[in-house]
Structure 1
C-alpha cells in the first residue's frame, strides 16, 4: 500500500504528549510524540510511563483502510540518565563525565541510561549533546564534555555505542556550533569561519556518524547570522551529503517558528533545508496543514517529503521498532532494573572519577573517618541541587522529595564518619572550634538552557522553550563571580575559617565559576560539578576510599570574561588550565 501525502507528513510530525491524544496519533498518522521537560504521566514512575506509551503504540498500530500500522517513536530528554522519572539512576551531567576522562565508563553510562529508558517504554533519547563549549557564561555548559573537540569526538563514539547498543535511539545534538555562540548566549550566533566550525564543532558529529548514530537534532542557534534550522548547506550538503549521515534530522522545540513570519513559509524553509521531522509541541495540526499546502504549491518538492519519510522509516526499522511488542510486553519494561543497585554503582563510580581537587593546603584531604567534622552549606543535603537541570522538571528541582533513591552528600558523609554533625541553621556557628574540620558544600541552584546564561536579560524569541513566556528571558545572573551570585557561601566558609578550623569547600556547579575569594578562605577546594543522585560518591573520595582522579575538562577562569569573546578557552584570565587536577597520595 502506497502512503498518502497525509500519512507521509504525519510521520514527519512530533507533538508533545500534553497536546495530542492516542486517537489523534491514529487520525493524523503521527510519527512521534515527545515529553518536554517536566511533562510526565501522573505519579511519574516507570509503570505510568509504560501505560501511557502502550496507549500511543496501540493507536499507531491500529491498521485499517485509511491508516498504516507504523509504530510510533516516543522521545525524552534522558541526558544524564532517565532523570525525568522518579526513582531513576541520575548520572553526573556531561561536564563531570568529561572530568572523569574514562571513555569505557561513558559507554557503560550509556548502556544503563538506555536500560532505564526502555524500562519506561520509551525508544528514543535526545542525547548525547556534542557541544564543544567555548564560554562558561553559556547556560548549557554542563551539557558539554569538554572545550576540546578531540575529547568530545572520542566521547561521542562511546556514548552512541552505549545508548544504541541497548536498543534505543540516540540523538546527537545540536547541529551545529551551539557551544560557540558569541558571549555564550544560548540560541545565539556562532560567528566563526568554516575552517573553525569544521575543526571544532563538526568533528564530534563525524565521530557520532561513524559510530552509527541514527538521529541528529538541529540547533536553535545560528551560524554567521543564518538559522541552523534553515541552513541547507549545513544539513543537506554537509551532514547528509559529505558526511554520509543516513538517519533523520529532527528540529528542536518550536525550531520552525522563528524562521519566517508566515508559518507555512517557515515550515517549508526547514524541510527544504533538510529537516525530516518537526518537533512542534502545540501547533502540530497547523504545521501538517501548512506543509500539505506548501507541497501542493510546489514550494516543497514531493521528493523532499519522500526522502524525509524514507529516512524516518529506515530508522524505525533499524532500531527494531517494527519487531517489538507493545511497551508493556517488552522485557525491559518490567521496571526490575530501574534504579537498581547495579545501576547506581555505575553512577557512584562516575561521581568518584569526576571530582577535581583544586586546592589541598597541608594535605588536609583525605579526611579521617574518626574526625569531628562539621558539615555546612545549603547544598549539603539537597539531592535536587546535586542533579541540576533536566531532572524531574525541565529546570530541575530542589530538595530531596522528588529524587527517590540515591544519597545526598551529607548522607554519604554521615555513613562514613559517625562523628560528623550537620549545621542546618542559618545562624552563627558558635562552637566550630569543637570540630577538627569543616566541610562546606555550596553551589548553583538548578537551571537549564538559556535560564542558566550569565548575561543581561533579553527579549524572548518566538516559540521559546518556556511553559510561560515572559517579556524577557531572565538569565541566572550577570556575572560568573560566585561571591556575587551566592554571597552566603563565602560567609559560611569564612565564618568557620575565622574560628580556626580548616575548611574543605565542595562546589556543586554546572560550570567553572570565579571563586578566588572562596579558594583563598578554604584549606581544600573540590569541584564536584553536578554529581547526580549518588552523593555517596563524593564521600568515597573525601575520605580516601578512592583517590581524586578528575581533571578539568574546561579551563577555570580567574575573572569574568568580557564582551563577545569566547572566554575561558585561551590563556587570558585562566586560574587553572584544562587538564588541571591535584592527585594527593
Structure 2
C-alpha cells in the first residue's frame, strides 16, 4: 500500500488503481444506457451541485427574496443549459414548510426532467443532522454528542428512522449525515456533531444511524428512507489548532487506528455517499489527495458510492490552500484525485473548466464516466427517475406524538448526572427554586446550531410551543414556587459568543427566598467557523454568576447546556449537583426537569473525557506515559491524568453492583473467541438503566499500547433487586491494533479485561 507520507507527491494524479475502483462500481442497465447517450457537457453537469439560493429570486446569488420562488431564467440556465445534477441547502438560510419544500423541489424536478434533453432528475441534499433541520414542525432530537451520551443503539437508530421519514416528507432524499469525525479535541467547534472520542462507540452508533436512515437492507428507494452521507472523510475533527478548517498533523498509524474505523464500519453497513474533509492533513488538502480518495477510500475500502465535496472546497485549493495556481487547476486536481461531485456552490465556472480539461485530455473520460456512474446510480437507487419528489400528504406521521415521544425519550436518556453530593437530587416538588443563567430560558441554546437556520440564531420563530428549562421546571412545581433571574444573558446582537452580566446582583437577592438554585450555564449556538474560540474556559461572566450565588450557601445544581466540555474547574466544587444536558433539542427542557425532579432516573454516560484544565486535553485511551503521577518534594510536576470527569462516567438515582466476572477461557487462539460474562444487580430502591462497559488492556505490545480501550457495551434496565448476567464475545480482531508498519495486527501476549471495578486476564497466542 502507498504510505500516506507520500500523499503530497500524489495530488491529482491517477493510475491503474483508479481503474480498479471504477471496476467495482455496479453497472445498472438503465444508467449505462443513459451514460452512452450523454455528451461531455451533460456528464460534467451531473457532477455539479448548486446551492438553491442561486436558483431563487433574490438580490444576488447569495440571497433569497420572500416569498420563496424560483428564478426561472437562472433555473433553466443551470438545469437545462448546464445540466446541473444536484441542488442543496435551504433558501434564505431558514426552515421551510412542507408545502414550500414540495413546491420548490417539484418545480426544479419539472424543469430538469421535462425541459432537459435526457430528463435526468435532480438529486437534492440537505443537512438534517438531528432531525429534519430545515423543515418547520419537524421532530428535533438531541445533537449527535447527546445521542452518544445515551449509549443506546436502539434510540440512535430510531432517531435516524424518524429523521429519514420527515426528510422524505419534505421531498428531500439525501441527508448530509452522520458526522463520523472523532470528537477527541474539546476545542473543536464541531465536537457536538460527533459521537464523541471513542472509536468503538462512534463506529457502533454510526452503523445504527446509517441503518436508521437507509434501512436494514439499504433500499433507499423506500420513500421513508434517505441516502446517508458520511462526513467528513477523513481526520477532520482534530486540527492542530483546534479550530475549524485548519491544518491537521496526523500520522498514518493514527489515521488508521482512530479515524478510519467509523467510516469503514459505516461503509460496510451500506452507506451510499461520503462528504470530504475540508481541511489539510500533513500539508495536503484532502480534496486533492488521490491516495486518500481513490487508493484508500475507493480501492482499499471498496467504496462504490458517491463522493461529494464540502462547501466551496475545490475553489479552496486555489484561494485558500494555494496548491493550485488557478481555479481550473483546482478542478483538475480534485476530480483526478477522486471527487465525483462538486459542492460549487455558487458559480457554474466549475462546469466550463471541467469540460475544457476533458477536451484537452487533462482529465480522463474514464474518470468522468466513473463519477457520473456513481451519481446516476445513487439517483436510480433512490427511485428518483420514477418518483422525483415525494408528497408530504403521504406522510401522516410527520411531527406526530409518536415521533416527539421518541425525541423526548432520547433527550431523557442523554442526560448525564455527573455529580450528586449528599443526594441533593432529585429535588422535592414542594421546594422553592431559583432558576438562573443565560441558558435557563433559551430554546436556541437547547438546540444548538443546524436548527432551523445554519447558526440556529432565529430559532424563536419556530419554537414557541416548546419548553425551555425554565418552562419545564415551572410546569413541574408551579409558578408560585419558581423565581427566575437571568443573571447573565447572551448579547446576540454583538456576537454569538458575547455574554453580559445582566443582573447578577438581582439573582443573588432572589436566592434569599428559595431552597435550591438551578443554574443553567454553557454556550450559545454556533456552527463551524463561528464556533472557533481562544479559551475553553467557561465565560468570566458565567463563572462570576456561579461564584456570587455560591456565597448565598443555597444548594446549587449546575445544568450544563453546551456543545463541548467547557472548563468549570473553579466552580464545580461549589455545586451540589451537576447535570450535562449537551444540546438536547426541543424536548431538552422537559428532559432536564424530568431528571431534576426524579420523574426520570438519569442513565447518560459521558462520550468524552471532561477536561479539568485547558492545557490537559487527554482522552481516556491515552498512552501510559501520558499518566505519570505527581511526586511530592522537589519534583512536583503536573503530569498526572488530571480530568474533571472520566469517559463513560454517569451517575444514577439507584445503585448497581457488578459481580461474577468470568471468562470462558484464559487462552484465545487465532480463530477463536472468548466469552466474557458479568452479573449486574440493581441494589437500590429505584428502577434504572445501566450502561455496562467492557474494556481491554494490552499489557505489552510492539508499540506502546493504549491504557485501555472500549470493546463492547450494552444498556440494560433493572428493577430494584433485579440482576442480569451479560455475555460479551471477544475475538482476535477486537484486540487488534495498527502497528508501526501501518498494518492491523493482533500480537501474542497478555490482555486484561475490565468491567466496572472487576478485571480478569487472558493470553492470546497465534
TM-score by length of 1: 0.90
Aligned partners of 1:37 and 1:394 also within 8 Å? no
Task: Tell me if 1:295 matches 2:353.
Answer: no
Do the aligned partners of 1:373 and 1:437 also contact (CA within 8 Å) in 2? yes
C-alpha distance 561-37 of structure 1, shift in aligned 2 (>3 A):
farther
Write the deviation string for residues 357-402 of structure 1: whole angstroms up to 9, x where unpaired.
1211110111112211121112111101111111122122166333
The one of 434, 438, 443 aligned to 2:517: 438
TM-fit CA distance, 1:189: 2.6
Counterpart contact for 2:469–2:593, Cα < 8 Å: yes
Tell me: CA distance 1:317–1:566, structure 2 relative to 1, closer, same or farther (3 Å).
Answer: farther
Shift of 1:354: 1.0
CA displacement 1:465-496 (0-9 Å, x = unmatched) = xxxxxxxxxxxxx11111xx2x3323333333
> How many residues in Structure 1 have an aligned counterpart in Structure 2?
549
1:330–1:303 distance in 2 versus 1, CA, 3 Å = farther
SS of alignment partner, residue 509 of structure 2? coil
Alignment match, 1:153? 203
Q: Is the 8 A contact 1:51 1:328 kept in 2?
A: no
Give the match for residue 448 of structure 1: 527
Find the aligned partners of 1:446 and 1:84 in 2 and give their Cα distance. 16
Q: Which residue of 2 aligns with 1:481?
A: 537
Partner Cα separation in structure 2 for residue 398 and residue 501 of structure 1: 35
1:266-281 equivalences under 5 Å are: 266-281=330-345
In the other structure, the counterpart of 2:41 is: 6
**Which residue of structure 2 lines up, in the alignment, with residue 16 of structure 1?**
51
Distance change in 2, residues 1:6/1:14 (3 Å):
same
Once the two structures are overlaid, the 10-residue window that deviates more, 546-555 or 338-347, is 338-347
Structure 1 CA distance, aligned partners of 2:392 and 2:642? 56
**Residue 357 (1) aligns with residue 409 (2):** no
Matched, 1:575 2:644: yes
- In the other structure, the counterpart of 1:319 is 382
Distance 1:55 1:143, change over 3 A: same
Return closer, same or farther for 1:550/1:317 CA change in 2, 3 Å cut-off: same
Unaligned runs of 5+ in 2: 1-33, 56-73, 216-223, 318-323, 488-502, 628-640, 655-766
Please show how residues 344-493 of structure 1 align to structure 2 within 5 Å.
344-397=404-457, 400-418=460-478, 419-424=481-486, 426=503, 427-428=505-506, 429-454=508-533, 478-482=534-538, 485=539, 487-493=540-546
Encode CA deviations 1:429-477: one digit per residue, 9 max, x unaligned.
32423211111112111111122123xxxxxxxxxxxxxxxxxxxxxxx
Larger fraction in helix: 1
CA contact (8 A) 2:445 2:524 kept: yes
Is the Cα contact below 8 Å between 2:188 and 2:243 reproduced in 1?
A: yes
**1:190 positional shift:** 2.7
Q: Given that residues 149 and 200 in structure 1 are in contact (C-alpha distance below 8 angstroms), is that contact kept between their aligned partners in structure 2?
A: yes
1:517 matched to 2:570? The reply is: yes
Deviations 1:234-274 (A, max 9, x none): 11111111111111100000010122231111011111011
SS at match of 1:178: coil
Q: 1:86 aligns with which of 136, 139, 164?
A: 136
Question: CA offset at residue 99 of structure 1?
Answer: 0.9
SS of match in other structure, 2:351: helix
Helix, strand or coil at the partner of 1:217: strand
Residue 547 of structure 1 deviates from its aligned partner by 0.9
> What is the rounded CA distance, in whole Å, between the counterparts of 2:389 and 2:512 in structure 1?
62
In the TM superposition, residue 210 of structure 1 has moved relative to its aligned partner by 0.8
Q: Is the 8 A contact 1:183 1:567 kept in 2?
A: no
1:470 counterpart residue number = none
**Hey, what does 1:193 align to over in structure 2?**
251
Aligned pairs (5 A) from 1:126-141: 126-141=176-191
- CA change 1:580–1:498 in 2 (3 A) is same
C-alpha contact (below 8 Å) 2:102/2:170 kept by paired residues:
yes
Alpha carbons 1:136, 1:567 under 8 Å: kept: no
Which moves more between the two structures, 316-325 or 515-524?
Answer: 316-325
Cα distance in 2 for residues equivalent to 1:399 and 1:215:
30
Q: Which has the higher relative contact order, 1 or 2, with Cα contacts under 8 A spaced 6 or more apart?
A: 1
- 1:159 is displaced (CA, Å) by 0.4
CA RMSD of superposed structures (Å): 1.9
- 302 and 396 in structure 1: CA distance in 2 versus 1, 3 angstrom threshold: same
Partner of 2:288: 230
User: For the Cα contact (< 8 Å) 1:153–1:204, is it kept in 2?
Assistant: yes
Instruction: Work out whether residues 609 and 618 of structure 2, in 8 Å CA contact, stay in contact via their aligned partners in 1.
Output: no
Q: 1:228 to 1:36 in 2, by over 3 A?
A: farther
Deviations 1:417-440 (Å, cap 9, x if unpaired)? Answer: 112232246242324232111111
Structure 1 gaps, min length 5: 455-477
- In 2, Cα distance between equivalents of 1:90 and 1:253: 24
Provide the secondary structure at the position in 2 that maps to 1:15.
strand
1:183 and 1:262 map into 2 onto residues whose CA distance is 27
Question: Is 1:252 matched with 2:304?
Answer: no
User: Could you tell me how far 1:328 is from its partner in structure 2?
Assistant: 3.5
Paired with 2:337 and 2:97, the residues of 1 have a C-alpha distance of 39
Contact 1:384 1:402 in 2 (8 A): no
In structure 1, the residue matched to 2:268 is: 210
Q: Offset at 1:340?
A: 2.3
Residues 59-138 of structure 1 aligned to structure 2 (within 5 Å)? 59-63=111-115, 67-138=117-188
2:605 is the alignment partner of 1:551: yes
Deviation at 1:573, TM superposition (A): 3.5
Deviation at 1:404, TM superposition (A): 4.8
Equivalent residues of 1:86, 1:403 under 8 A apart: no
Question: Stretches of 4+ moved more than 4 A in 1?
Answer: 565-569
Q: Which residue of 2 aligns with 1:221?
A: 279
Deviation at 1:230, TM superposition (A): 0.7
| Separation in structure 2 between the aligned mates of residue 187 and residue 431 of structure 1, nearest angstrom | 44
Counterpart-to-counterpart distance in 1, 2:391 and 2:230: 28
Q: Which moved more, 1:389-398 or 1:172-181?
A: 389-398
> Which protein shows a greater Rg?
2
CA contact (8 A) 1:147 1:569 kept: no
Q: 2:580 aligns with which of 503, 511, 527?
A: 527
**2:680 equivalent in structure 1:** none
Q: Deviations over 1:78-109 (max 9, x none)?
A: 11111222222221111111111011100000
Pick aligned residue for 1:25 from 79, 82, 102 = 79
When you count strand as a share of all residues, which structure comes out higher?
2
Distance 1:325 1:265 in 2: 34
